[in-house]
Amino acid sequence: MTHELVTFGVTLVRRRAIGPGIAARKSTAGWTAVGSRSGQGHEGETKMAKGMFSRMADILRSNLNEALDRAEDPEKLIRQMIREMEEAVNKATASVGTAVANQKRLERQYHEQAKQATEWERKAERAVSAGEDDLARRALERRAVFERAAADLGPAMEESKRTADQLREQLRELKGKLEEARTRQGTLMARHRAAEARKRLAQGIHGLGDDAFSSFERFEQRVEKSEAEAEAHAEIADDLRDVETRVNRLDRQGNVEDELRALKDRLKKERKG
C-alpha cells in the first residue's frame, strides 16, 4: 500500500501593503507555487513494513512439526523463530509509527493550506473594502493557490490515514500471533522432549537384541528348574519323614504291647501266690 507525501511551498514577491491587515511577503522567487511531489521515502517505508508483515506471516504459517523434525537442535530452532517474530514485530512497530507520523504531517499540511486559503479570502475582502481591486485580484489568486494545494492534499491525506489504520490493524494481529507463539513455545518444547525420551527408550529396547532376551529367558528357565528341583527334594524329604514317623509309631506300639503282657503276667502270678 503506498501513498504520496505532498508538500507545498508558496513564495511571494515583495508587495506594498495597501489597506488594513493586508501584507505582502518578501521573496526573490516571484508569485509561484511548488506542486506536489511523490513521497518516495514513505513509499519505501511502507514497502518495508509490508515485507516484514509478509515475513512474519511466513513464520506463522510454517509447519513447526516438520521444521522441528529436520532441525538438529529443535529447541534452539523454536527460540530462534520466536526471536525472528519479535524482531519483525519491533521493526513493523517502527514502520507503523512512521506511517502515523506521515499521516499527521499530511493532516497538518492540509489544515495549513485550508487556513491560508481562508486568510487570503479575508484579505481579498479587505482589499475590496479599501477600493483596491487589483490587490483583491492578487489575493484571490493566492487563495486559489492554497485551495488547489488543499484539494491536492486531501486524497493523499485520506490514503495516508487508510494506510496507517490498516498497518495498525495488521500489527495488532501480528502481536496477538506472537503472544500465541510464545504461549505455545513451552508446550512445543515439552512435547518434543517427551517424544525424544520415547524415541530413546524405543532405541534402547531395540538395541538389546534377541541375544539379550534369549539370555534372559535361559536364566528364567534355570530359575524355574532350580525351583522344581527344590520342590521335588522337599517332597522326598516329607515322604521319608512320614515313613520314619510311622515306623517309630509301630515301634512304640510294640513296646506298649510287650509291657502290657508283662504286666498281666505279673498280676496273674501275684493272685496265684
pTM over 0.75: no
What does the pLDDT read at residue 269?
81
- Is pLDDT above 90 for 24? no
Helix (H) or strand (E) run with residue 102 in it:
helix 74-129
Q: What pLDDT shows up at residue 52? A: 58
Q: Which of 1-10, 67-76, 132-141 has the lowest mean pLDDT?
A: 1-10
Residue 16: band (very low, low, confident or very high) from pLDDT cuts 50, 70, 90: very low
What pLDDT was estimated at residue 210? Answer: 58
What pLDDT score was predicted for residue 15?
31
For residue 43, the model assigns a pLDDT of 56
Q: 19 or 85: which carries more pLDDT confidence? A: 85
Which pLDDT score, from 0 to 100, does residue 59 have?
57
Tell me the per-residue pLDDT of 64-93, one tens digit each, with 9 for 90 and over.
Answer: 556 656 666 777 877 888 888 888 888 888
Choice among 140-154, 179-193, 204-218, 259-273 with the minimum mean pLDDT:
204-218
Quickly state the pLDDT bin for 130 (edges 50, 70, 90). very high
Give the lowest-confidence range in 11-25, 151-165, 177-191, 228-242: 11-25
Q: Please list the helix, strand and coil fractions of the chain in percent, rounded to the nearest 5, in that order.
A: 80, 0, 15
pLDDT value for 139? 94
Residue 45 corresponds to which cell in the numbers above? 517505508
Chain position carrying cell 493557490: 145
- The DSSP line for 109-122 is HHHHHHHHHHHHHH
What is the chain's alpha carbon radius of gyration, rounded to the nearest angstrom?
A: 54
Higher pLDDT, 105 or 49: 105
Q: How large is the average pLDDT for residues 146-167?
A: 91
- Per mean pLDDT, which range of 1-10, 115-124, 145-154, 232-241 is the poorest? 1-10
Nearest to 1 by CA among 168, 251, 209, 214: 168
Please indicate whether residue 121 or residue 83 has the higher confidence score (pLDDT): 121
- Distance, in Å, from the CA atom of 96 to the CA atom of 93, rounded to the nearest integer, reads 5
Kindly list the distances between the CA atom of residue 64 and the CA atoms of 74, 75, 151, 247, in Å, as whole numbers in the listed order.
10, 11, 51, 86
Q: What percentage of residues in the chain have a pLDDT greater than 90? A: 21
> Higher pLDDT residue, 155 or 222?
155
